[in-house]
Amino acid sequence: MARKNAVYAQSGGVTSVINASAYGVIMAAREASFIDEVYGGYDGINGVLTEKLIDLGQEPPEAIEALRHTPAGALGSARRKLQDLEKNRAEFQRIIEVLAAHDVGYFFYNGGNDSMDTTAKLSRFAAENDYPLQVIGIPKTIDNDLPITDNSPGFGSVAKYNAVSILEGSLDTESMHRDSTKVFVLETMGRNAGWIAASTGLAQRSERDGPHLILLPEVPFDKEKFLAAVQELVSRLGYCAVAVSEGTKDGEGKFLSEVGGQDAFGHTQLGGAGQFIQDLVNSELKLEHPSSTFPTF
Amino acid sequence: MARKNAVYAQSGGVTSVINASAYGVIMAAREASFIDEVYGGYDGINGVLTEKLIDLGQEPPEAIEALRHTPAGALGSARRKLQDLEKNRAEFQRIIEVLAAHDVGYFFYNGGNDSMDTTAKLSRFAAENDYPLQVIGIPKTIDNDLPITDNSPGFGSVAKYNAVSILEGSLDTESMHRDSTKVFVLETMGRNAGWIAASTGLAQRSERDGPHLILLPEVPFDKEKFLAAVQELVSRLGYCAVAVSEGTKDGEGKFLSEVGGQDAFGHTQLGGAGQFIQDLVNSELKLEHPSSTFPTF
């Protein structure tokens, strides 16, 4: 079998470990008998479209080895989402032309749902045009919401960061609650999926530890139930820690960040889901000290 | 000289290292020929007022040793600020009574400016009432704004946290700016002092690294100058990273968080200084992609 070249490109928001995936692809490709050179797309799919390809074989071994611990996206990334095949065949045609010019038979695309969509489209287009191309999607998302995958690279580091953050905030609040803030609120990312908010639960080693309440996009927010739970926790433990996903919605499907709250003077408050929860606790519960949102505890 | 007992208490918002200060006091007191027992005030000065004193000599050596790495406030803390002597002599009288009952000759109070104020008042009151008491303030503040002190325990860890945060955000933005967000904004704590915002400058190892602009409470915010600087940086480097102190004020002394901005639809936006800067950049500069505030980059 004739050896073919490979292209690897990064896409979407970068994670803490996206370059570790790059390292994995490069090292595995070197071992593969059917792959010759590995090229990196500069700024994701943009690098393929503009023929800005980096010959990774020319990089010093130390640079490749360092990828495992290199932050951000080493090759740049792309926010560009390829349009539907019907709407822009020229774009797909161009990609195939560039890949053919460099004798590429393997295309690795490292990204989230949009990128997996791109890989599916490109794979179909190549097959329809009789260009022999293996298109391989490499999962990357902090949200952990890639269909089929169980656990996506990128999620672990975000889970750890958020679990550590709520642990820090909870311990501080616990140690100060008798004469200070009683409710600590941490807003997490996750517009559509609650994995990140849920991961803060890793911090809870005993019933006294935060987080005591986790609000997810998947569960409609029930104001009365929530306030009763906060009140009960503060009465029993003295304090409570709440993790709220930015994507949490009310019973009518409206984001908490859009619902808005009212400050002590009755003015409408805008802000994120964390701000909403903080305002709600402060205005509805008569706790001795107001609640505080990270990082102003 | 007759040996006397000592009291150590923690006050105000806890820092990452306040328990390391506790460890230092306890170990030094054990070595001191003139100190007998060391008591810990439970919840700061509250513990003295309510006679809730912890005999630290009864704690196992491992617990004392662990203080160096124990998060939050191991003894609890106090938000209570003692009133002026003239307004509440009874409170000071009560403190002296409790200290006398436990044969205390040394009082260590670990806190910020309010706590230092308390130590000064207590010292004066004791002298006026012929009670022999050495009152020692132990500096603690993340803001690093304690008069006379050069560098306060608590500031270092916050400086490191914020410098690392802007470094992470800057590197991510730099790697993605050609097809994504071009301006990264990090809001830091520091209502009256710019030390924390300024400390993010530790992250800048070369001209390309963030932070490129740091906004301090001590320097009135000049909108035109700021926008011109952002535009110049984005033109020259492709992106820029901004650290803004929550206490940054406009030319009339108003907090940026109070000035408010306008969203794309002309609606007034409320939020912190970071939100203000983000809205300003998005509405005033015609950058290809909007700016993003931590942690939504």
Q: Given A72, A171, A175, which is nearest B174 (Cβ)?
A: A72
Q: Does B266 touch chain A (CB under 8 A)?
A: no
| Cβ within 8 Å, pair A13-B176 | yes
- Average pLDDT for A83-107: 94
Q: Which pLDDT score, from 0 to 100, does residue A85 have?
A: 84
For chain B, helix (H) and strand (E) counts, in that order, are 10, 11
Q: Given A76, A271, A296, which is nearest B271 (Cβ)?
A: A271
- What pLDDT digit, counting tens, does each position of B245-297 carry? 999 999 999 999 887 655 555 555 556 899 899 989 999 997 876 565 543 32
Q: Is the pLDDT of residue B19 over 50?
A: yes
- Average pLDDT for A261-273: 60
Tell me the DSSP string of chain A: ---EEEEEEE-SS--TTHHHHHHHHHHHHHH-TTEEEEEEETTTHHHHHTT-EEEGGGS-HHHHHHGGG--S-TT------PPPTTT-HHHHHHHHHHHHHTTEEEEEEEESHHHHHHHHHHHHHHHHTT---EEEEEE--SS---SS-SS-TTHHHHHHHHHHHHHHHHHHHHHHGGGS--EEEEEE--SS--HHHHHGGGG-SSTTSSPSEEE-TTS-B-HHHHHHHHHHHHHHHS-EEEEEETT-BBTTS-BHHHH-EE-TTS-EE---HHHHHHHHHHHHS--SS--EETT--
**Chain B residues near residue A292 by CB distance under 8 angstroms:** none
Q: How far is CA B249 from the centre of its chain?
A: 19
Identical fold, A4-139 and A157-293: yes
- Average pLDDT for B46-60: 95
Q: Contact at 8 Å (CB) between A200 and A237?
A: no
Q: Which pLDDT score, from 0 to 100, does residue A291 have?
A: 61
Banded model confidence at residue B79, pLDDT cuts 50, 70, 90? confident
Q: Given B72, B178, B179, which is nearest A172 (Cβ)?
A: B72
The residue among A39 and B192 whose pLDDT is bigger is: A39
| Cβ within 8 Å, pair B44-A179 | yes
Instruction: Look at residues B161, B154, B159 and name the one whose alpha carbon lies nearest to residue B139.
Output: B154
Long-range contact set of residues B149-154: C-beta below 8 Å, sequence gap at least 24: B153/B15, B153/B17, B153/B18, B153/B20, B153/B21, B154/B15, B154/B16, B154/B17, B154/B18
CA closest to A178 among chain B residues: B43
Q: Given A73, A269, A297, which is nearest B175 (Cβ)?
A: A73
Q: Is the pLDDT of residue A293 over 70?
A: no
Q: Which pLDDT score, from 0 to 100, does residue A267 have?
A: 54
Instruction: Report d(CA A137, CA A144) in Å as an integer.
Output: 15
Instruction: Look at residues B180, B169, B206, B152 and name the one whose alpha carbon lies nearest to residue B295.
Output: B169
**Does residue B143 sit in helix, strand or coil?**
coil
Q: Which pLDDT score, from 0 to 100, does residue A268 have?
A: 55
- Average pLDDT for A14-32: 96
Q: Is the pLDDT of residue A240 over 90?
A: yes
Instruction: Look at residues B39, B73, B76 and name the one whose alpha carbon lies nearest to residue B54.
Output: B39
Q: Which pLDDT score, from 0 to 100, does residue B297 have?
A: 25
Homologous superfamily of B155-293: Phosphofructokinase domain (3.40.50.460)
B10 bridge partner residues? B110
Q: What percent of chain B has pLDDT over 70?
A: 93
CA closest to A18 among chain B residues: B172
- CATH (one of 3.40.250.10, 1.10.390.10, 3.40.50.460, 3.40.50.150) for A157-293: 3.40.50.460
Banded model confidence at residue B109, pLDDT cuts 50, 70, 90? very high
Q: In chain B, where are the structural domains located? A: 4-139, 155-293
Q: Does A259 touch chain B (CB under 8 A)?
A: no
Which residues between 169 and 208 in chain A have a beta carbon less than 8 angstroms from any beta carbon of chain B? 171-172, 174-176, 178-180, 189
Q: Is the pLDDT of residue A103 over 60?
A: yes
- Average pLDDT for B101-121: 95
Q: Does A264 touch chain B (CB under 8 A)?
A: no
CA closest to A12 among chain B residues: B176
Q: Which two tokens stand for residue A3?
A: 């050896």
| Cβ within 8 Å, pair A14-B176 | yes
- Average pLDDT for A50-62: 95
**Chain B residues near residue A74 by CB distance under 8 angstroms:** 175
Polymer length of chain A: 297
Interface mutation target, options B270, B278, B292, chain A, most CBs of A under 10 Å: B270
Q: At what angle do helices A113-128 and A89-101 cross, to 10 degrees?
A: 80
| Cβ within 8 Å, pair A77-B14 | no
Q: Is the pLDDT of residue A290 over 80?
A: no
Q: Is the pLDDT of residue B71 over 90?
A: yes
Q: What residues of B act catalytically?
A: 143
The residue among B62 and A79 whose pLDDT is bigger is: B62
Q: Which pLDDT score, from 0 to 100, does residue A79 have?
A: 86
Average of per-residue pLDDT values in chain A:
91
Instruction: Report d(CA B35, CA B5) in Å as an integer.
Output: 6
- What pLDDT digit, counting tens, does each position of B207-247 carry? 999 999 999 999 999 999 999 999 999 999 999 999 999 99
Q: Does A81 touch chain B (CB under 8 A)?
A: no
Q: Contact at 8 Å (CB) between A78 and A91?
A: no
- CATH (one of 3.40.50.450, 3.30.565.10, 3.90.950.10, 3.30.70.870) for B4-139: 3.40.50.450
Q: Is the pLDDT of residue A269 over 70?
A: no
Say what the pTM is.
0.90
Instruction: Report d(CA B14, CA B221) in Å as an integer.
Output: 30
- What pLDDT digit, counting tens, does each position of B157-214 carry? 999 999 999 999 999 999 999 999 999 999 999 988 999 999 999 999 999 999 999 9
